[in-house]
Amino acid sequence: MLDRIGILQMARQLAEHSAARQSVVARNIAHADTPGYRQQDIPDFSEIYRSAGTGMRATRSGHVNHTETGGRGKPFVVDGGPVAPNGNTVSLEDQILESAEIQQKHDMALAIYRSGLGVLRASLGRR
């Protein structure tokens, strides 16, 4: 039932995206001293959500030819940053700031989800 409510589905996808992006940032930090390692990232959630399309949605399986990204994207190598003498492009300062931004987006997704569940409980007469 809850997977049919658009705002809760979007909040779940944002939380999944944040978790996947946090994993990429953790991998970048782990490889901060690895020679030749290139910093990676995942496209922003808004890009993935828009590319998934917000037009026609499937309400039942088989209804429309529908694919869902699940709020994730494929990691890509970030170009344009400073390169260390060993060929590594990871900046720990940038990764820490990125991690804090990702945490804020994850907290926002959880707040949206909690709020939506609160509305559902109130509509059912349960608090």
Q: How many CB atoms within 10 Å of residue 6? A: 11
41 contacts: CB under 8 Å, gap ≥ 6: 21, 24, 25, 75, 76, 78, 98
pLDDT tens digit string along 30-88?
999 999 999 999 988 888 878 776 554 555 565 444 334 445 567 888 877 789 899 89
Q: How far apart are CA 38 and CA 87, in angstroms?
A: 8
In tens, the pLDDT along 1-16 reads: 556 778 888 899 999 9
